[in-house]
Amino acid sequence: MSTIAEIALPAREFALKETFLQAPETRFEIVGVVAHGEERTMPQMRMTTPEVGALQPTLADDSTVTDARLLTDFGTRGVFGMEWKTTSANPSPYS
C-alpha cells in the first residue's frame, strides 16, 4: 500500500530555507526516500531551475544542508540526494 501526499511548507520552516531565498525561481519536489545505512534514510529531491549545476554552490553554502549530491543532471532538472541539519525547531523525520 502506498501513501501519496502533496504538502506545502513556508520556506522559513524548512531545512533548505537559505537555498529557497537564494534560488527563488527553483521548484523543489521530494521524489523519494532511500535507505542510507541501517538507521537513516536520505530524501531524493528533484529541482527544476534555469541551471541545475548552478545550485551546487548554493546548496554547499546553505548552513542547513550537510550533504547534497547531484545524482542526475538534465540541464534545467536534476535530482539530488540530500541530508540536512536538524534542530529542535526543525526536527527531521528522516534521521
More confident residue, 74 or 7: 74
pLDDT of residue 47: 92
> Binning pLDDT at 50, 70 and 90, where does residue 11 land?
low
Q: Does some domain include residue 64?
A: yes
Q: Does some domain include residue 1?
A: no
Tally of CB atoms within 10 A around 12? 8
Tally of CB atoms within 10 A around 71? 12
Q: Does some domain include residue 95?
A: no
More confident residue, 82 or 86: 82
Residues 6+ apart with CB under 8 A from 44: 30, 31, 32, 33, 34, 71, 79, 80, 81, 82
Question: How far apart (Å, rounded) are the C-alpha atoms in residues 51 and 37?
Answer: 31
> Binning pLDDT at 50, 70 and 90, where does residue 95 land?
very low
pTM: 0.69
Q: Does some domain include residue 29?
A: yes
Count of domains for the chain: 1
Q: Does some domain include residue 91?
A: no
Supply the range of the domain harboring residue 26: 11-84
